[in-house]
Structure formats: C-alpha cells, structure tokens
Amino acid sequence: MAYLFTSESVSEGHPDKVADQISDALIDNFLAFDTDSKVACETLVTTGQVVLAGEVKSNTYLDVQKIARDTINKIGYTKGEYMFDGNSCGVLSAIHEQSDDINRGVDRASKEQQGAGDQGMMFGYATNETENFMPLALDLSHRILIELAELRRENKDITYLRPDSKSQVTIEYSDDNIPQRIDAIVVSTQHDDFGDDETMLAKIRKDIVEILIPRVVAKLPEQIQVLFNNDIKYHINPTGKFVIGGPHGDTGLTGRKIIVDTYGGKGAHGGGAFSGKDPSKVDRSAAYATRHIAKNLVAAGVADEVLVQVSYAIGVVEPMGIFIDTYGTCSFNMTDGEIAEKVSEIFDMRPFAIEERLKLRSPMYSETAAYGHMGRKNETVSKTFKQPNGEIAKLDVELFTWEKLDYVDKVKEAFGL
C-alpha cells in the first residue's frame, strides 16, 4: 500500500536560523585567525535584541557585535518596520572562557590523541532517491525556500517578500519505497502589508504557485519534474496574514532546527545541534563524518539506503562503536554488522582524524547555517575576515567537504565491487 512522507524546511530569515547564522559567523571568524579556537556559542534573538552566550578558548579577539549585525543585515533584516534590524538592534555578549575541566579532556600533547569534546551518538544518512543522496521531501523543501529567497533579493517578479518563511513537502511513495508524486506543498512566507487580507492572500497564492514553483521545477532533474502535477494540494500562508515575523514574531535560538539541518526526519538523529560549535565537538564533526560515510557507501553501490551511527565518550579518543543499517537494501550477501566492521577499517573516526580528513579547522560554517548541512555543493570560495585591529585574513575555503565522493574507490575495493 502506498504511503506518504513529509519533510519541512525553514528560511535564512526564520528566527532560529538567524540565531544559527550568527553563531556560525562567530565560529568562522575565530577559526580564520586562530585555527585551534575552541568555541561553543549560543545566540538568542527577539524583538530588537540579540544575546550571545557561550565559552571560548582562542588567541584572537573579535568585534562580536559587528559580526552579529553584519549577519543580520546580510539575511535581509534591514528595515525598522521589521522590529528587528541589524543596524539598530541591541547586541549583548555574555561570552566567557572555556572551562578547564572540559578542555583537559580534549587537548592532548599529541593532536592525534585528541579526545572527543563530548559524549553522545551521531547519525549520518544517505539514499539514492536523489542526485545528492538526500531524502527527496527535504531536498524539495530546501529548494523551494532557496528560490523564494532569490525572488526576494531580485525584488522584481515578487516585490512584497520579507525574510521569514517555511516550507513543507509531502510525497507519496510506492510499497517498494519509490517516489510516485508530490501530494502536498505548504509555503508560509512573511510579507509586506499591501492590502486587505483576502486580496493579499490571493496574490501570494497566485505568485507562489505560478512563479515560485515553476522556477523550482525548472531546475530539477527530469525524473523529479514528472512528480509534479496539477493535483498537488497547495497550502499557501494557511493562517492568512503573515506580516509580523522573524525575531519580532518569534524568539529564535541556536540549535532548534536539527531535523531541518539533517535529513528531514528520515534516518535518525542523535539530538546534538551543529551551529555554534567548533569541530572538536563531535556533535558536529562526527555527524559530518557519518554523512560522508553513508554517502560514499550508497554511491559505491553497497546499498540503496544507509544509516550510520557512531558514539563517543568525552575525552576518549576512539569511538565506542560504529553501527550500520542498510534497511535490507544491501546489494550483496553481507550483514550490516560485517559492513560496519569494514567501515571502521576504511574510515578513521578519531576526532582529530575527522578534522583532518574533512578540513574542519577552516572557516566553512556560515554557509551551513541555513538550508541544511547535508546534500550541499562541495566547492571552494574566497572569504575575507577583518579583526578590530585592522588585521585582514583572505582565505580560500573548501565548503561541504563531507559531501565529496572521494572514498568511493576505497569502498568498492574493500567490498569487492
């Protein structure tokens, strides 16, 4: 019997994502001037106010207020009528030095013996139902909001958009887990107040269905385009008016969108957020490493769908163990336990080895803080950072290194594929 599966995404202007982006902008600036920085930074945003809190051990000094304001302005909160804008909001910093009790378990005389920054379990997932090995419902949800943000910045075809928005996509699957059609799409977008409620809602619905969705579909592979049809149920701003939004409409906190950040409810999640954490925190680095493993396993043909779990104890170098679930889709006669044993031989999962393999000590994190940490494009970009004393760092930074298929040949060789 066919079944439905749903995933959601939120835009860069969503209050929780504003908080994530500020926290990750701080991470990038610390790492740009001191690659050994240890940072755990939380952000709270609300009406006209930003609060920064956390622990830092670093040899550099930052103007955290300016970084927060620049991030907010870049997102698009630049007008006083939003009741939250980068130029006028208050910014309170309560960042202090990292606890020695935590640091002693991480720093070692030999970097190779660096302990895990915390205990916990982390999950990575991949499926062959999309070209980027991501669950389709989440991938489409992200694409809708990325395109909506493009329309907002172009300010031509749709001129009333504000930064805060959410999307949700429901897909019908067959019994053998193959996507059959798009059943429903939900889009809620903040907007200017440009008329009576009925007129605004009619205009927004028309523009989303007739302008946004065709632009999204046009950029999709042909096999995904055919899933769109005239029977899709659209819920556009289903509550009606959505003028009050962003941090004025809802308080935002770092780390509250962990399912949006990962796999949209597919696979599993260990519970740890990513943004605001340097890569010594395995909540972040090991989640990237397990995605790297899962993606390379699926790309190599080990299975159609793979979940990878790794777990750690704080201060301990080696992981507690690696778990693999192929959901019965393994392409040859090998148990998931046997696959896990081979994976542990191929991939070094010590915290420092992960940092080195995925180049995680570079300022790559601002780009991860909206529209998902997984399934993104691996590319190298140029970045410029400036300290309060005028020192400038110009760096070429490789993004989303965990999305590389650089272990496919090693996996094929290990499994005889």
Q: Domain-by-domain residue ranges, the chain?
A: 3-9+136-245, 120-127+279-415
Q: What is the mean pLDDT of residues 252-258?
A: 98
How much is the mean pLDDT over the chain?
95
For tokens 């897909």, the residue is: 171
| Token reading at 195 | 């008329």
pLDDT value of position 117: 75
Q: Identify which has the larger pLDDT, 148 or 1.
A: 148
98 has binding-site annotation: yes
In the structure encoding, which two tokens stand for residue 361, read together? 């000590």
Q: Please report the pLDDT score of residue 112 as a whole number.
A: 66
Strand order across the 49-57 sheet? 90-97, 49-57, 38-46, 252-253
Residue-wise pLDDT tens digits, 271-285: 999 999 999 999 999
The reported pLDDT for the residue numbered 309 is: 98
Which secondary-structure segment (H or E) carries 308? Answer: strand 305-312
How far CA 147 is from CA of 142, 151, 208, 334, in Å, comes to 9, 6, 11, 42
The pLDDT tens digits for 299-338 are 999 999 999 999 999 888 889 999 999 999 998 999 999 9
Residue 286 in marked binding region: no
Is residue 99 predicted with pLDDT exceeding 80? no
| Structure confidence at residue 269 (pLDDT) | 97
pLDDT of 116 reads: 82
Identify the burial level of 411 via C-beta atoms within 10 angstroms of its C-beta, where 0-12 means exposed, 13-18 middle and 19 or more buried.
Answer: buried
Nearest to 120 by CA among 294, 274, 264, 267: 274
- Give how far Cα 136 sits from Cα of 48, 55, 72, 305, 312, Å: 37, 37, 30, 13, 30
Return phi, psi of residue 339, to 5°: -65, -45
**Coil, helix or strand at residue 177:** coil
Q: What are the tokens at 286?
A: 């090991």
Is 42 labelled a binding residue? yes
Q: Residue 107: its pLDDT value, please?
A: 59
Token pair recorded at residue 315: 């201060």
- Tell me whether residue 256 is annotated as binding: yes
34-83 tens-digit pLDDT: 999 999 999 999 999 999 999 999 999 999 999 999 999 999 999 999 99
The phi-psi region of residue 8 (left if phi > 0; otherwise alpha if psi is between -120 and 50; otherwise beta) is beta
What is the CATH T-level fold of the domain 120-127+279-415, as seen in this structure?
A: GMP Synthetase; Chain A, domain 3 (3.30.300)
- Asked whether residue 49 is marked as a ligand-binding residue, the answer is no
Whether residue 189 has pLDDT greater than 80: yes
CA angle 12, 42, 114 (to 5 degrees): 110
pLDDT at 111: 67
Residue 241 is assigned to a ligand binding site: yes
- For residue 100, pLDDT over 70 is answered with no
Query: pLDDT-based confidence at 102, cuts 50/70/90?
Result: low
User: 223 pLDDT band (50/70/90 cuts)?
Assistant: very high
Q: Are strands 233-236 and 179-191 parallel, antiparallel or unpaired?
A: parallel
Question: Cα separation of 417 and 411, whole Å?
Answer: 8
* pLDDT class of 115 with cuts at 50, 70, 90: confident
**Is there a contact between 13 and 165 (Cβ–Cβ < 8 Å)?**
yes
Query: Annotated binding residue at 104?
Result: no
1-15, pLDDT tens digit by residue? Answer: 799 999 999 999 999
| Residue 360, CA distances (Å) to 282, 352, 366 in order | 11, 10, 13
- The answer to whether residue 109 scores a pLDDT higher than 60 is no
Does the annotation flag 55 for ligand binding? yes
Three-state secondary-structure class, residue 271: coil
Is 242 among the annotated ligand-binding positions?
Answer: yes
What's residue 271's pLDDT?
96
Q: Any binding-site annotation on 16?
A: yes
Q: Is 166 annotated as a binding residue?
A: yes
Q: Please determine, for residue 104, whether its predicted confidence score (pLDDT) is greater than 70.
A: no
The reply to whether 281 sits in an annotated binding site is yes
* pLDDT recorded at residue 264: 98
Same fold, 3-9+136-245 and 120-127+279-415: yes
Q: How large is the average pLDDT for residues 358-363?
A: 98
Question: Whole-angstrom Cα distance, residue 43 to residue 24?
Answer: 10
The rounded distance, in Å, linking the Cα atoms of 169 and 151 is: 20
Question: Taking the alpha carbons of 35, 40, 46, 50 in that order, is the dihedral positive or negative?
Answer: negative
Q: Which fold has domain 3-9+136-245?
A: GMP Synthetase; Chain A, domain 3 (3.30.300)
Residue 113: is its pLDDT beyond 90? Answer: no
> How many CA atoms lie less than 13 Å away from 110 in the CB half-sphere?
5
Q: How much is the pLDDT for 275? A: 98
